Each structure stands twice: as structure tokens, then as C-alpha cells.
């Protein structure tokens, strides 16, 4: 059974299923969900707990031994299995399939994983666990939903903030949900319950945004020039390597150019997505909108611009590298 994150609390009030799986791209949310399941297990009499962390040299016999090693006092048991890489390997995959095919009695098993890619989702072990477990996927809220998420977190500590204040917090914690959580808790310590003003928020919230290359690529494809400028400024301040930034922008331009050329030649977009290994629905939608506003000539010009930046980085041409990055980003993010 698949649960939405907002369904978890209600589900934990019922008798617990024997097998749970939590995974997603946001460690804070995965940890919080796992903590909630562990707390519910304690309330429902799972007094004993054994934690297994899969790392280099892990012996999968330990899982079977943990399942068979019940308490002398007959207490129900929680097996807390964690796979930080999300890759159990061949032996682990086979062990997991055997395990879920015959789940031990008086035992609750919690499997914690990071973000699961599309290849792993097709494996036999993941399908077997998904069919047998109560599953929750916990991903970081999309950028446009981040203010709403912050507002919900503030409501849990009986505080609220104006839309401007929520947007201010979101801008300063973007890409760093753990820091967002810490800033929200800090607001609860600094101010009483009730409404928070923009001034109170500005005084309390630190700039803890984490700028990364993938977010720059996303902003380019989504046609958000203001965000491109802010991300480039953040990357520059964090000392990001110019060749890495160039690789990201040039790779995005090459992908869009290949898709645009294929589309102009009459090829169906789903086939082009498959050829370029673009499988995530949100990215497919964003790329589709980008192709509607970009021309083949404009993308060729972007690739030539990227080649010029490469020469600037190598000292073979004059220019300010970060200004060139900004101009290239704006060229790709421009709207008709």
C-alpha cells in the first residue's frame, strides 16, 4: 500500500503493518517519518528493537538472524533496516525478496532508503518490497510549494506569517530543508505564538540557502531568469568551480538543441525524451515548455556562447566568467 505523507499520522493510529518502507530525496522528511513509525511501534508493544545498517562488508545473514532471534520474554520486535546507498546489491536483493516472502511473526520491519532512481524501481527486490510493504515516498517540496510547507510547519508551533515573510524564508533556505526546519524552530523560540511580521522574520532568519548546479539547470529549463541570476550569485559566493558550471549549462543547451532538432524533423517528443534519458514527469513538462519558447538557431548560438566561455576559462579569450555565465543562462531562460 502506498501512503501520501499526510496520511501517515492517521495510519499510525491503527494496528501497524508488518513491513514499512520509507524513501525519498529529502533526508529530514525520511528521518521524521521513520521516527514516527518507531514511536508508534513502541506504543503498540514492540519493546525490542534491532538496527541493521547496510554498508561495506554487511552480511545479509544478519537480517535472517535478527528475524529469528526473538526475545526470551516474547516481546514483539522492531527490525530497523537502513540502506543508505539504496543499493543492496545482488545478494541483498535476493535476501530481501526471501525475507518479504515469509515475514517473521511478532516482528515489524522498517526499511529506510534514500531517493530511489527509476532503474532501482524496476528491480525485483524493490517490486517485491513495494507489493508487501506500506510505502511512503518523502520528497522535498517543490520550490513553488516551499512557502506553503513553511507555513504548515509554523502552524504546528501555533505561529503564522504573511505571504511576504514566508517567501522571504523560502528564498533564504532554498535547497536546505534541514536548515529550514532549524530556522522555523528558532522562530518558535524567539517569538510567542501568533502572527509573525516580516521584520521579525528578517531579523531572525539566516541566509542558509544551498545553491547547487542542478537547481541552476532547473531554473534555466523553467525559464526563470531572476532565479538564474540569484543561483549564479550564490554559486560564485560558494566558490563553485567554473568548469562544472559550464558543463551544466552546456549540457542543458546540448540536450535542448538535440530535442529541438528532433522535434523540427517531425520525431515524437516521447521518443526524443527516451533517447535523451529524460524520464521524470516534472522535468519532461519543463523541457516541453522550454522547447516551445526556444528555437534551433537560438540554441546553436547558446552552444557557441558556451564554447567561448570555455576559452575564457582557459585564458584563451578575454571576459568575466561569471558575467558570461549570466548571459548564457539568460539566453537559455529567455521567453518569447
pLDDT tens profile 11-35: 999 999 999 999 999 999 999 999 9
What's the CA gap between 22 and 97, in Å, rounded? 17
Q: Which of 3, 59, 63 is nearest to 33 (CA)?
A: 3
106-116 pLDDT, tens digit per residue, is 899 999 999 99
Q: How far apart are the C-alpha atoms of 303 and 285, rounded to whole Å?
A: 23
The closest of 308, 332, 327, 310 to 260, measured between CA atoms, is: 332
Nearest C-alpha neighbor of 110 from the set 149, 92, 136, 89: 136
pTM above 0.75, yes or no: no
User: Could you tell me the domains of the chain?
Assistant: 2-137 (3.40.50.300), 143-204 (1.10.8.60), 213-333 (1.20.272.10)
Per-residue pLDDT band for 71 (boundaries 50, 70, 90) equals low
Q: What is the pLDDT of residue 67?
A: 83
The pLDDT of residue 105:
85
Specify the pLDDT at position 74: 59
CA–CA separation, 201 and 189 (whole Å): 12
Nearest to 29 by CA among 200, 196, 164, 145: 145
Q: Residue 325's pLDDT band (boundaries 50, 70, 90)?
A: very high
The grid coordinates listed for 194 are 501568533
Q: Give percent of the chain with pLDDT exceeding 70.
A: 97
Helices (H) and strands (E) in the chain, counts: 17, 8
pLDDT, position 72:
52
Give the confidence band of 245 by pLDDT, cuts at 50, 70, 90.
very high
Amino acid at each position: 500500500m502506498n501512503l501520501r505523507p499526510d496520511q501517515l499520522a492517521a495510519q499510525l493510529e491503527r494496528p501497524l503493518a508488518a513491513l514499512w518502507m520509507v524513501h525519498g530525496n529529502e533526508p529530514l522528511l525520511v528521518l521524521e517519518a521513520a521516527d514516527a513509525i518507531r514511536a508508534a511501534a513502541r506504543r503498540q508493544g514492540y519493546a525490542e528493537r534491532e538496527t541493521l545498517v547496510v554498508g561495506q562488508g554487511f552480511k545479509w545473514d544478519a537480517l535472517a538472524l535478527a528475524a529469528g532471534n526473538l526475545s526470551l520474554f516474547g516481546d514483539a520486535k522492531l527490525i530497523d533496516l537502513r540502506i543508505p546507498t539504496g543499493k543492496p546489491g545482488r545478494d541483498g536483493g535476493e535476501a530481501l525478496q526471501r525475507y518479504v516472502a515469509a515475514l517473521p511473526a511478532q516482528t515489524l520491519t522498517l526499511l529506510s532508503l534514500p531517493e530511489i532512481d527509476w532503474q532501482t524501481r524496476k528491480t525485483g527486490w524493490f517490486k517485491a518490497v513495494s507489493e508487501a510493504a506500506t510505502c511512503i515516498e518523502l520528497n522535498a517540496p517543490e520550490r513553488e510549494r516551499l512557502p506553503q510547507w513553511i507555513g504548515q510547519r509554523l502552524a504546528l508551533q501555533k505561529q503564522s506569517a504573511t505571504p511576504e515573510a514566508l517567501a522571504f524564508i523560502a528564498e533564504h533556505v532554498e535547497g536546505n530543508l534541514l536548515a529550514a526546519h532549524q530556522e522555523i524552530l528558532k522562530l518558535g523560540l524567539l517569538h510567542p505564538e501568533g502572527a509573525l511580521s516580516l521584520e521579525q522574520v528578517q531579523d531572525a532568519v539566516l541566509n542558509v540557502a544551498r545553491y547547487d548546479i542542478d537547481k541552476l539547470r532547473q531554473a534555466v529549463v523553467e525559464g526563470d531568469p531572476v532565479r538564474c541570476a540569484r543561483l549564479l550569485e550564490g554559486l560564485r559566493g560558494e566558490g563553485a568551480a567554473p568548469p562544472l558550471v559550464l558543463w551544466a549549462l552546456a549540457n542543458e543547451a546540448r540536450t535542448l538543441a538535440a530535442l529541438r532538432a528532433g522535434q523540427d524533423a517531425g520525431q515524437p517528443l516521447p521518443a526524443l525524451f527516451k533517447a535523451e534519458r529524460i524520464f521524470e514527469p516534472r522535468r519532461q513538462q519543463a523541457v516541453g515548455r522550454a522547447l516551445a519558447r526556444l528555437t534551433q538557431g537560438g540554441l546553436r548560438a547558446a552552444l557557441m556562447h558556451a564554447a567561448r566561455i570555455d576559452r575564457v576559462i582557459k585564458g584563451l579569450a578575454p571576459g568575466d566568467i561569471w558575467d558570461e555565465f549570466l548571459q548564457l543562462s539568460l539566453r537559455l531562460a529567455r521567453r518569447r
